[in-house]
Amino acid sequence: MRINRIARVDEELVEQYESIAPQLLTISRQLQRSITKELKEHRRGGKQTGLVMGRRLDTHTLCRNDGKVFYKNALPNESPELAVGLLVDESGSMYCADRATYARAAAIILHDFCEGLEIPVMVYGHSTGRSSHGNTVEMYSYAEFVGFDRDDKYRLMDISARDGNRDGAALRYVAERLSTRPEAVKLLILVSDGQPADMDYSGTAAEEDLRGIKQEYQRKGVMFVAAAIGEDKPSIQRICGDSFLDITDLEKLPGKLTAVVKKHIRI
């Protein structure tokens, strides 16, 4: 396995980002505003009113007819409840129907959404390559949980269609990173357009490898969501089971992925 990361972001990536970001960030900010108030109250604690059951009666709401007349004092929670890892398939077939373009847009929105809400987020891509030692799994580090600079958003512009996809090793790498996080909910989102496809790694054996990795890390508290964006959706569904997310309309990919994260925020 080889980890690739752009050390110094060049001006071309910055310009590309600035040209497409405004529209994408508008979507992110709208989604953020929808839950910002609740998330802030959760982190600092406060009074939760309008409860159907409870030990404390809110005398100001006794006139309600729906029975929501109880309240409780929530304890402050300073640490984030959720950590997110996004793993993007960068195989050559992602070139078809601009799949890599939509995956890149989804990554930009999801990264901004998580950063805006102070949710730890990591974004990786994966493909395959060659070296003097033979075949390699190529991992592309775009955003880390703890950034070394403020340029990760520009690195996301390098998400591309590349070579093959040896999903098992890539999935294990990101799942292991997530499993060590302290947050209560650890969410791993895989964006893929097909089955694993690399030399000596395909078909039934590769599918069984992925299922085994998924089960192993579910026991370690990692939740999986596989967003299928290609024509090979039945195979992805067969591998991922109940964690399968069908993305028929690629334009809805960013919104659906962000909605998945929003669903798992504990407020």
Q: 213: burial class by Cβ within 10 Å (0-12, 13-18, 19+)?
A: buried
* CA–CA distance, 70 with 58 (Å, rounded to integer): 5
Angle at 74 between CA 68 and CA 79, to 5 degrees: 140
What lies within 8 Å, CB to CB, of 245 at 6+ separation is 225, 226, 227, 228, 256, 260
165 or 179: whose pLDDT is higher?
A: 179
Q: Which of 163, 16, 3 is nearest to 94 (CA)?
A: 163
Q: Which domains does the chain have, with CATH numbers?
A: 2-32+79-264 (3.40.50.410), 44-74 (no CATH)
What is the identity of the amino acid at 148?
F
Q: How confident is the model at residue 11, as a pLDDT?
A: 96
What lies within 8 Å, CB to CB, of 49 at 6+ separation is 58, 61, 71
Position 65 pLDDT exceeds 70: yes
User: Beta-carbon neighbour count of residue 263 at 10 Å?
Assistant: 9
55 or 114: whose pLDDT is higher?
A: 114
CB distance 226 to 190 below 8 Å: yes
What does residue 54 show for φ and ψ, rounded to 5 degrees?
Answer: 165, 175
Position 229 pLDDT exceeds 60: yes
Separation in Å, CA 89 to CA 28, 111, 132, 254: 22, 17, 24, 15
- As a whole number, the mean pLDDT across the chain is 81
* Pick from 68-77, 91-100, 121-130, 205-214: least confident: 68-77
Task: Give the relative orientation of helices 99-116 and 253-264 as an angle to the nearest 10 degrees.
Answer: 30
**pTM exceeding 0.85:** no
User: Beta-carbon neighbour count of residue 72 at 10 Å?
Assistant: 14
Tell me the per-residue pLDDT of 95-146, one tens digit each, with 9 for 90 and over.
Answer: 888 889 989 998 999 999 999 988 999 999 999 888 877 788 999 999 999 8
